[in-house]
Structure 1
Amino acid sequence: MALRRDPHVLVVGGSDSSGGAGIARDIETIASIGVRTCLAVTALTVQTHEAVMEIHPSQPDLVADQMRAALQANKV
């Protein structure tokens, strides 16, 4: 018997510690239409709704590896 796999959207973006934007908001929006997500994080931030205090970019190879792993784990 084959396993049923739900469709996924690959979300590629940065974090937002305030929750107002970035990957957290993308996941929330995509989930609201009933689709699952997998992700690759491009940056970590320290921010509020009013200001960004720090940005820590992810290494490009790490982002690429995250994307490959997410796509491999969620093949149709």
Structure 2
Amino acid sequence: MRIATSVGLLVILAAVGAYAFEGLMVPDAPVPTYGIVMFTIGITLLVAVSVGLMSLLFYSSRRGYDEPPHIKR
């Protein structure tokens, strides 16, 4: 079962890679202005979410929120 799943996923990965390669090889295909704006907004949001999640990770780790509970008897 694992081999079949792995082969299936590799086939999908190869198909996506071939599709992306064909898209990159189109001659004289300029990116419109709204495309550049959307890429910039997407990258900015990606960086903001990544930095926010990492800061929450470090905050919770330093404050001890990640520790298992200590039961006093």
- Flag whether TM exceeds 0.5 (same fold): no
Compare the two structures and name the one with the higher strand fraction.
1
TM normalised by structure 1 equals: 0.29
Compare the two structures and name the one with the higher helix fraction.
2
Q: Larger relative contact order (C-alpha < 8 A, sep ≥ 6)?
A: 1
- Between Structure 1 and Structure 2, whose CA radius of gyration is higher? 2
TM normalised by structure 2 equals: 0.30
